[in-house]
Structures are given as C-alpha cells and as structure tokens.
Amino acid sequence: MKVVILAGGQGSRLGEETCFVPKPMVQIGGHPILWHIMKIYSHYGFHDFVILTGHLSHVIKNFFVNYYERYSDLTVDMEHNTVELHKVRTEPWMVSMLYTGEHTMTGGRIARAREYIGDEPFLLTYGDGVANVDIDKLLDYHRASGKLCTCTAVQVAARFGSLAIDSTGSVGGFMEKPMDDTSWINGGFLVCQPEVFNYIGIGDDVILEREPLEKLAAAGQLGAYKHRGFWQCMDTQRDKAMLNGLWERGDAPWKVWS
C-alpha cells in the first residue's frame, strides 16, 4: 500500500524560512518533518511513498537524491575523481516525487498523482503533522467500517484558557485550555479506497477538505478514527519550537520507531 504525502504548500506562517525550503523540509531535531512522517509509516511496514511536491520542489528531490551522502560516511578521492561510501545509513524506502504545481490545491495534487497511486487503496497525509497514530489499528478500523475514506480525528486544546461565567455574569473560575469530546478536527493520516478519486474529480483548484470530503460525508462514505494520543501540526514558529523542544528532551511521542 502506497503512502501519499501532500508536500507542496508554501507554509507562509513559518516566516522567512520557507522562502528557502518548502514547509515539509523545515527541520525538527536536525531532520525535515517530512522524514519524521515517513519514519512513522515505515515503522508499521509501509515503505512505498509518493510525495506530491510544489513549492521549491527541487529541495525535496535533492534531499532524497543525495540521501546516501547526507547520512553516510564517505571518502572523496579528488585525484582519481571517486567517492567511496562507508557505513551506509539508509532506509527501506521507495520514494516517488511528483511535481504537482506551484499553486495547485490539495485535491488537485492528489488527482495529478492518480497514475502513480494506481487502482488500489492508499494512505494519505499532510507533510506538516506528526502523531503517534497506530497505523495498524487505523487500517483495521477503516476496513471494518466498509467506507471509502477514513480520516484520523484529533482533538486540539484551545490555545488560551477560558473563563467559567455563571448566569449572573460572575466569573466562577478559569478553565485551562478547555477541550470537550465534541471538538474534533481532521488530523490527516487518512485511508482511501481508489473510488475516492471519483469524488475528487479533476482540476487544480479542487480542495480535498471542501467538496470531495463533503460529498463523501453526505454519501455516508467518510469515517473518523478517533485518535486520543499525541498529534501536532507544524503551522507556526511556535509549533516548530515546541516540536524541537520535545525532540531535544528525548520526549517526542511521535517517535514510535527505534
């Protein structure tokens, strides 16, 4: 089963950094967040990746083309024009990188990749979020549901605390980052049957989270696997700093691999 990763966005809220690298290549603990996402899937035995690039596509391509040199010891014999690799550190990955347009929307990117994905179920996620989702349990849930698409639903605590106000207008206390069981968002880590392409259609302006998923929901074909563990997207510098802090302290919940 292929793992499709949306990695073409510009990530403008990360500031000047994404002027030089695409958002999925912003580093957490010395590795691009894209690498972290791939390590999660690889831990569960999924090694065949289709990366949908756009903004600064060449940076992602160069990273994987030069992966051996980046993570292996080597000797460069400049007199004889040879390079010898030592202690090669590699991954069991097959990585297809597709340029799907600079400004193409998420649904349009997936539609462009149809011939590479093939007529089979596939895993799909965003190139800016990590989680300790159990991919095996997610797949079991999806298969048991019989639906065409299952997204991983996650809960996100409010950034700020809230006031507990009674009917008289008096503040009875404070609630730190409240979160209730009715507040769920799409956290990525989707499972899709090939029939999902019929709901996406064609066109670079198609946004996956709008009409395609809305149509699937209306048809009763969109399921939600509730994940109550760790999930975090890297949308801002604040998010990046938090993820780097967890990694540096050796307390990164999404590091399910050894």
The strand pair at 73-77 and 82-86 is best described as antiparallel
pLDDT at 95 over 70: yes
pLDDT digits (tens, 9 = 90+) for 190-208: 999 999 999 998 899 999 9
pLDDT of residue 10: 79
pLDDT at 8 over 70: yes
What is the rounded average pLDDT of the residues 61-81? 91
Q: Buried b / exposed e across 170-192, counting CB within 10 Å, b at 16+?
A: eeeeeeeeeeeeeebebbbbbbb
pLDDT band at 87 (very low <50, low <70, confident <90, very high): confident
Least confident of 66-75, 103-112, 137-146, 163-172: 163-172
Q: Buried b / exposed e across 100-109, counting CB within 10 Å, b at 16+?
A: bbeebbbbbb
pLDDT at 88 over 60: yes
Beta bridge mates, 232: 130
pLDDT band at 19 (very low <50, low <70, confident <90, very high): confident
pLDDT of residue 183: 80
Q: How far apart are CA 207 and CA 15, in angstroms?
A: 24
Least confident of 66-75, 138-147, 174-183, 205-214: 174-183
Q: What superfamily in CATH does domain 2-151+184-248 come from?
A: Spore Coat Polysaccharide Biosynthesis Protein SpsA; Chain A (3.90.550.10)
Percent of the chain with pLDDT over 70: 91
pLDDT at 133 over 70: yes
pLDDT band at 132 (very low <50, low <70, confident <90, very high): very high
pLDDT digits (tens, 9 = 90+) for 155-193: 987 665 666 666 776 676 666 655 656 689 999 999 999
pLDDT of residue 170: 64
Number of Cβ within a 10 Å radius of residue 124? 23
- Least Cα distance to 74 among 88, 64, 93 occurs for 88
pLDDT digits (tens, 9 = 90+) for 228-242: 999 999 999 999 999
What is the rounded average pLDDT of the residues 50-73? 93
Signed CA dihedral, 10, 14, 16, 20: sign only: negative
pLDDT band at 53 (very low <50, low <70, confident <90, very high): very high
Question: What single-letter amino acid sits at 214?
Answer: E
Q: What is the pTM of this model?
A: 0.90
Q: Buried b / exposed e across 48-87, counting CB within 10 Å, b at 16+?
A: bbbbbbbbbbeebeebbeebeeeeeeeeeeeeeeeeeeee
pLDDT of residue 17: 76
pLDDT at 68 over 60: yes
